[in-house]
């Protein structure tokens, strides 16, 4: 994966795709502000040819093509290559960032990296074991790195054949074995291919330590080098013609993949990215292509949207849009022996439930070791997911979002007339309340045990379920609510219920209504689920809430101050009162979230609004706001 700074909600404008909710201003949803092309006159012919010809024709089949991927819901992403044998350590020195970027970070010469590949000998690799591990975890599709940014083909390629699996001690084809295992066990199969970033090829962007190439850390020629130095473009085109397109076609003809996954489109101009996509469509129009191959600020030419790397929260996407997020078990995608920041199993179970409750897919990454074995920490996570999936799979695979309002105890997914209540935080007291659920209920049961729940009741507030009959799965206890008919809730999920029985009620800035000039969303990573671009007092955030009962709450705000000398005065309007507070511009900057306690408030029962305004701003923009938190002890 590529390191990113900001990740904004990707919205599409293609007229042929309006039916899936893809609208104008795609840059609001790019997973990185720089990961798209600003089209120039050079690109106009390619854009016209695409939008009046081959792409327009392929877009008509997009909905049919993407359904197999959408139904699959949950996939395994695998970053595995020559870099895996080093675990992000080169000659005793730790690498930085993602382990699969070792060659760039340590500036390993091309020939030395190739020589090291001869030692790659994954004696413990077993394709069947990998795929079974994914299948048991409920995963329905499988994505493996055929070529990452290091340019090394993990299969016997006839193009750049020296820089391929044929130069290692492994004489078999691991990708063919994985493809066959996936087909055997009913998983969709696909490849990650680094089309724009290649540190091996002398003409490709990226390697600026062996060659004087653009696209690397030195930023030779600038970020958009192809605009400032068009005379360099023939070299990149030669790489695309001699390696990228031939290898992609080779992968299609050799393995017949269902899916292709691309990255870093901004390293090449849009015209080249479109040329690669056209080659794919000409070779096999049924392949599903992700959203990081060819796109501008206003249009995405792929089949679905890619949101954040390593997300913990999801920003809202257009209703009906196809999207996918790509968490990884620790903080790296390739295997890193130095990264012990593995999240607990519950994190991924809840992440999957949250994504499906918002209409998205999850492609969850692991980084196997160089010997072909799965890291023990990764195996524990996958086995934990498998245990939960054995009883709860139907609540997250091939489900749809519910139109019910947001709840503080968890999220809701839906299949036909069945609602699945995913309880992450079991409330205190005697009952769990599903605010806004006023439709007639046929039955309620715990999904894991199928045990019927009795004694529930409904009123104008919602559905009330006895807590003493709800299980205690600390990851996600799922309650299946069978409605008497498949009906639509009268309230939208723009409304957020506030529940005094839940200790912490969170009003995320992701789910606020924005007023004034639109703000941008953070990428959803840890302490990056904020809004940015708050530049004037005409902009503010608003939440529509519904308090289940009157209660006294402690009120705090969370924010990130990652730029020096920023701050100012703010005001929170809540429960008919105004709470003023200030953020000291002289306070230290940090990428971590800060919490500021504002006091206590008596929140009345019922619907009301909460607003966050700025009085004055010190610096170019206000600090980045994460959320308002209402705590009831």
Q: N- to C-terminal Cα distance for the chain?
A: 42
- Span 386-404, average pLDDT: 97
- Model pTM? 0.92
Please give the pLDDT value at position 36. 66
Give the model's confidence band at 296: pLDDT under 50 very low, under 70 low, under 90 confident, else very high: confident
Which segments of the chain belong to CATH 3.20.20.80? 63-391
Please give the pLDDT value at position 111. 97
Which segments of the chain belong to CATH 2.60.120.260? 504-631
Q: Which long-range contacts (CB under 8 A, 24 or more apart) does 151-158 make?
A: 151/194, 151/198, 151/199, 151/200, 151/201, 151/204, 152/81, 152/82, 152/113, 152/117, 152/200, 153/247, 154/80, 154/81, 155/251, 155/254, 157/247, 157/250, 158/250
pLDDT at 4 over 70: no
Average pLDDT, the chain: 92
Treating both helix axes as pointing N-terminal to C-terminal, what angle do 345-357 and 376-392 enclose, rounded to 10 degrees? 50
pLDDT digits (tens, 9 = 90+) for 184-201: 999 999 999 999 999 999
The yes/no answer on whether domain 504-631 falls in CATH 3.20.20.70 is no
* Domain at 400-492, CATH homologous superfamily: Golgi alpha-mannosidase II (2.60.40.1180)
Fold (CATH) for 63-391:
TIM Barrel (3.20.20)
pLDDT digits (tens, 9 = 90+) for 506-545: 999 999 999 999 999 999 999 999 999 999 999 999 999 9
pLDDT digits (tens, 9 = 90+) for 409-456: 999 999 999 999 999 999 999 999 999 999 999 999 999 999 999 999
pLDDT at 10 over 60: no
Please give the pLDDT value at position 320. 84
The answer to whether 295 touches 334, Cβ cutoff 8 Å, is no
The answer to whether 92 touches 156, Cβ cutoff 8 Å, is no
Q: Which residues of 328-367 are buried (b: 16+ CB within 10 A; e: fewer)?
A: bbbbbbbbbeebeebbebbebbbbbbbbbbbbbbbbbbbb
Which segments of the chain belong to CATH 2.60.40.1180? 400-492
Give the chain's length: 633
Q: Report the run of H or E that residue 185 belongs to, with start and end.
A: helix 174-185
pLDDT at 17 over 50: no
CA distance 249 to 256: 10
Q: Which residues of 398-430 are buried (b: 16+ CB within 10 A; e: fewer)?
A: ebebbbbbbbbbbbbbbeeebbbbbbbbbbeee
CA 532 to chain centre: 19
- Span 481-491, average pLDDT: 79
Please give the pLDDT value at position 7. 36
């Amino acid at each position: 994966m590529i390191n990113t700074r900001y990740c904004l909600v990707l919205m599409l404008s293609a007229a042929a795709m309006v039916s899936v909710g893809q609208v104008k201003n795609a840059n609001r949803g790019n997973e990185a502000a720089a990961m798209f092309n600003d089209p120039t006159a050079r690109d106009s012919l390619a854009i016209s040819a695409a939008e009046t010809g081959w792409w327009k024709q392929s877009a008509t089949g997009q909905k049919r093509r993407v359904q197999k991927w959408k139904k699959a819901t949950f996939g395994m992403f695998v970053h595995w290559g020559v870099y895996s044998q080093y675990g992000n350590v080169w000659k005793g020195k730790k690498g930085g960032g993602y382990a699969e970027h070792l060659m760039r970070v340590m500036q390993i010469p091309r020939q030395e990296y190739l020589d090291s590949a001869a030692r790659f000998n994954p004696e413990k690799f077993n394709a069947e074991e990998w795929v079974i591990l994914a299948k048991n975890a409920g995963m329905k599709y499988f994505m493996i790195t055929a070529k990452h940014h290091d340019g090394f083909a993990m299969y016997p390629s006839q193009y750049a054949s020296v820089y391929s699996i044929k130069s290692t001690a492994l004489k078999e084809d691991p990708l063919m074995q994985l493809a066959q295992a996936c087909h055997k066990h009913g998983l969709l199969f696909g490849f990650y291919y680094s089309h724009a970033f290649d540190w091996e090829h002398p003409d490709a962007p990226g390697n600026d330590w062996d060659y004087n190439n653009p696209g690397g850390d030195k930023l030779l020629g600038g970020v958009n080098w192809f605009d400032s130095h068009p005379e360099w473009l023939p070299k990149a085109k030669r790489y695309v013609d001699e390696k990228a397109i031939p290898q992609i076609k080779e992968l299609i003809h050799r393995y017949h993949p269902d899916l292709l996954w691309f990255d870093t489109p901004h390293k090449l101009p849009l015209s080249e990215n479109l040329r690669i996509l056209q080659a794919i469509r000409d070779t096999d129009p049924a392949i599903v292509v992700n959203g990081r191959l060819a796109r501008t600020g206003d249009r995405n030419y792929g089949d679905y949207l890619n949101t954040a790397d390593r997300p913990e929260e999801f920003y809202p996407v257009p209703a009906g849009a196809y999207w996918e997020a790509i968490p990884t078990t620790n903080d790296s995608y390739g295997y890193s022996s130095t990264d012990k920041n593995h999240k607990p199993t519950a994190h991924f179970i809840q992440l999957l439930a949250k994504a499906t409750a918002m209409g998205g897919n999850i492609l969850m990454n692991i980084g196997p070791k160089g010997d072909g074995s799965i890291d023990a920490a990764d195996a524990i996570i996958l086995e934990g997911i498998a245990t939960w999936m054995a009883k709860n799979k139907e609540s997250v695979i091939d489900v749809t979002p519910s139109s019910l309002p947001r709840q503080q105890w968890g999220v809701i997914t839906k299949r036909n007339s069945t609602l699945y209540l995913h309880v992450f935080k079991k409330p205190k007291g005697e009952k769990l309340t599903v605010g806004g659920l006023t439709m007639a209920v046929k039955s309620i049961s715990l999904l894991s045990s199928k045990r019927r729940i009795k004694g529930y009741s409904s009123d104008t507030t919602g559905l009330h379920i006895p807590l003493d009959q709800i299980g205690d799965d600390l990851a996600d206890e799922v309650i299946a609510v069978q409605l008497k008919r498949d009906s639509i809730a009268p309230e939208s999920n723009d409304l957020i219920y506030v529940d005094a029985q839940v200790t912490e009620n969170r009003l995320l800035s992701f789910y606020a209504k924005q007023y004034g000039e639109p703000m941008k969303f953070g990428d959803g990573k840890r302490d990056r689920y904020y809004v940015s671009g708050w530049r004037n007092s005409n902009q503010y955030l608003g939440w529509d809430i519904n308090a289940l009962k009157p209660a006294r709450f402690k009120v705090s705000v969370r924010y990130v101050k990652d730029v020096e000398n920023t701050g100012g005065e703010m005001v929170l309007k809540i429960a008919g009162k105004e709470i003023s507070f200030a953020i000291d511009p002289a306070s230290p900057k940090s990428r971590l979230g800060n919490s500021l306690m504002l006091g206590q408030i008596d929140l009345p029962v019922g619907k009301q609004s909460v607003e966050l305004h700025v009085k004055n701003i010190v610096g170019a923009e206000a600090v980045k706001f994460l959320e308002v938190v209402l705590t009831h002890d």
